[in-house]
């Protein structure tokens, strides 16, 4: 008989300290949940904000982290019986998922552990052809940005989406979220104009952007406005992956010249906007992501309609590397996802 599995986690005892790798209980799934044995975990900018400032932490010690890839460790029969979302999974399935520790505060919902609880409606099967290390990138970025939030359709699985004659500007097209939203919008038949650093123009074009402009170009506003007009498509608005003061100022200048539109943000949007600008914050943990997980993640990845195009940076193998990965995230990355393999 094999020894019972043991869990370990990168525990954060208090804000402003490095995580401590130590034992943790093996999580038990409740209705609507699955337990995943992690193979790869990815870092989000939010993780080091939580580490540094304790924001969203509801109890100490805590386990941080949101993005996981691994195998379904357990779906208990009593859980399977009562939850339709759980019935999509069986023990041993390769999966990716997005944990919601910042909502629940429970340590078992933090990704930086060998075993983690994930809500079944925030997970989906990872096609065999995609490695855990590549697939973990999609956890946060893909379902977090459903295009309906911008009044756009979901991605389609048929061979080529017909153009819907709409144009979207993606600010920060080389970020995790921006690169994925560029792909999602393109697959939905939307014409995308992206803003990135110059070394990531090619990447953004591979994501589907028709035109890419340098975020440091002093004429960025005029160039984007001209490209939108030349596209001949109806202007939807801007998805701003960066959502910081400088991009917001540029967003509003672009929107002003184009008669307004949506401004979708990854952080709270600017408070003072003209009447013709409709702002909103897209939040990966919200239920708005559920249909994307349920109906699109596996299918679009399997069909190659959406790809994990950001090359991962593997920081190391083992929970001991979480602190190094958090430090690298705080320093800032360009067009990559920081991954710790387990």
Ligand X SMILES: NC(=O)c1ccc[n+]([C@@H]2O[C@H](COP(=O)([O-])OP(=O)(O)OC[C@H]3O[C@@H](n4cnc5c(N)ncnc54)[C@H](OP(=O)(O)O)[C@@H]3O)[C@@H](O)[C@H]2O)c1
- 215 binding ligand X? (CB under 6 A): yes
Site for ligand X in 128-167 (CB under 6 A): 140, 144
Give the C-alpha separation, 226 to 197, whole Å: 19
Quick one: which of 177, 182, 183, 300 contacts ligand X (CB under 6 A)?
177
- 65 binding ligand X? (CB under 6 A): no
- 108 binding ligand X? (CB under 6 A): no
Instruction: Give the dihedral of Cα atoms 151, 153, 155, 160; nearest 10 deg.
Output: -120
Query: If 0-12 CB within 10 Å is exposed, 13-18 middle and 19+ buried, where does residue 264 land?
Result: buried
- Shortest Å, Cβ 228 to ligand X: 17
Quick one: which of 51, 108, 182, 196 contacts ligand X (CB under 6 A)?
196
Site for ligand X in 222-261 (CB under 6 A): 241-242, 246-247
Q: Which residue's CB is nearer to ligand X, number 83 or number 269?
A: 269
Give the x-and-dash track for 278-297 against ligand X (CB under 6 A).
----xxx-------------
Q: Which stretch binds ligand X (CB under 6 A): 73-81, 110-118, 171-179, 231-239?
A: 171-179
Quick one: which of 26, 157, 328, 333 contacts ligand X (CB under 6 A)?
333
- Shortest Å, Cβ 194 to ligand X: 9
> Are the CB atoms for 120 and 32 separated by under 8 Å?
yes
Alpha-helical runs (H) found in the chain: 45-53, 77-82, 101-104, 132-135, 138-141, 176-187, 201-207, 220-231, 245-257, 290-295, 297-302, 322-331
CB atoms within 10 A of CB 14: 11
Quick one: which of 44, 51, 99, 279 contacts ligand X (CB under 6 A)?
44
Residue with the CB atom nearest ligand X in the bound state: 197
Q: Which stretch binds ligand X (CB under 6 A): 21-29, 99-107, 193-201, 256-264?
A: 193-201
Strands in the chain per DSSP E: 7-12, 20-24, 33-42, 62-63, 67-74, 94-98, 115-119, 123-125, 166-171, 191-196, 211-214, 234-240, 261-265, 277-281, 312-317, 337-341
Give the x-and-dash track for 262-281 against ligand X (CB under 6 A).
----xx--------------
Query: If 0-12 CB within 10 Å is exposed, 13-18 middle and 19+ buried, where does residue 53 land?
Result: exposed
- Shortest Å, Cβ 66 to ligand X: 8
Q: Which residue's CB is nearer to ligand X, number 212 or number 301?
A: 212
- Shortest Å, Cβ 204 to ligand X: 8
Quick one: which of 335, 339, 340, 342 contacts ligand X (CB under 6 A)?
335
- 172 binding ligand X? (CB under 6 A): yes
Under DSSP, the state recorded for 200 is: G
- Shortest Å, Cβ 334 to ligand X: 3
Q: How many residues belong to the site for ligand X (CB under 6 A)?
A: 29
Tokens of 67: 């993005």
Q: Coil, helix or strand for 31? A: coil
Give the C-alpha separation, 9 to 248, whole Å: 38
Q: Which residue's CB is nearer to ligand X, number 48 or number 296?
A: 48
Quick one: which of 61, 105, 153, 197 contacts ligand X (CB under 6 A)?
197
Give the C-alpha separation, 256 to 252, whole Å: 6
Q: Which residue's CB is nearer to ligand X, number 78 or number 202?
A: 202
Q: Which residues contact 18 (CB under 8 A, 6 or more apart)?
A: 323
Give the C-alpha separation, 266 to 180, whole Å: 13
Interacting residue ranges for ligand X, rule: CB under 6 A: 44-46, 140, 144, 171-172, 174-178, 195-197, 200, 215, 241-242, 246-247, 266-267, 282-284, 333-335
């Amino acid at each position: 008989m094999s020894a019972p599995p043991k869990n370990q986690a990168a525990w954060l005892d208090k804000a402003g300290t490095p995580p401590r790798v130590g034992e943790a209980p093996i999580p038990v799934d409740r209705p609507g949940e699955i337990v995943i044995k992690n193979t790869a975990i990815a870092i989000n900018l939010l993780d080091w904000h939580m580490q540094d400032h304790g924001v969203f932490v509801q109890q100490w010690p805590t386990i941080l982290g949101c993005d996981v890839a691994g195998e379904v460790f357990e779906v208990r029969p009593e859980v399977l019986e009562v939850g339709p979302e759980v019935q999509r999974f069986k023990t041993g399935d390769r999966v990716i998922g997005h944990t919601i520790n910042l909502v629940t505060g429970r340590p078992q919902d933090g990704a930086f552990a060998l075993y983690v609880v994930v809500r079944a409606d925030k997970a989906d099967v990872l096609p065999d052809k995609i490695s855990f290390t590549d697939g973990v990138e999609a956890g946060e970025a893909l379902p977090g940005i459903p295009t309906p939030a911008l009044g756009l359709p979901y991605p389609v699985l048929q061979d080529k989406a017909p153009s819907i004659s709409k144009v979207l500007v993606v600010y920060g097209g080389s970020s995790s979220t921006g690169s994925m939203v560029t792909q999602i919008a393109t697959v939905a038949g939307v014409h995308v104009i992206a803003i990135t650093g110059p070394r990531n123009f090619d990447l953004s074009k591979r994501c589907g952007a028709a035109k890419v402009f340098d975020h440091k170009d002093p004429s960025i506003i005029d160039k984007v406005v001209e490209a939108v007009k030349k596209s001949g498509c109806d202007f939807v608005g801007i998805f701003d992956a960066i959502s910081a003061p400088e991009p917001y100022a540029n967003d509003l200048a672009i929107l002003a010249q184009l008669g307004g539109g949506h401004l979708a943000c990854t952080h709270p949007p600017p408070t003072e906007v003209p009447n013709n600008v409709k702002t909103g914050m897209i939040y990966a943990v919200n239920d708005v992501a559920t249909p994307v997980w349920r109906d699109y993640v596996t299918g679009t990845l399997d069909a190659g309609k959406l790809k994990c195009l950001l090359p991962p940076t593997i920081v190391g193998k083992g929970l001991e590397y979480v602190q190094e990965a958090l430090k690298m995230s705080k320093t800032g990355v360009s067009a990559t996802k920081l991954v710790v393999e387990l």
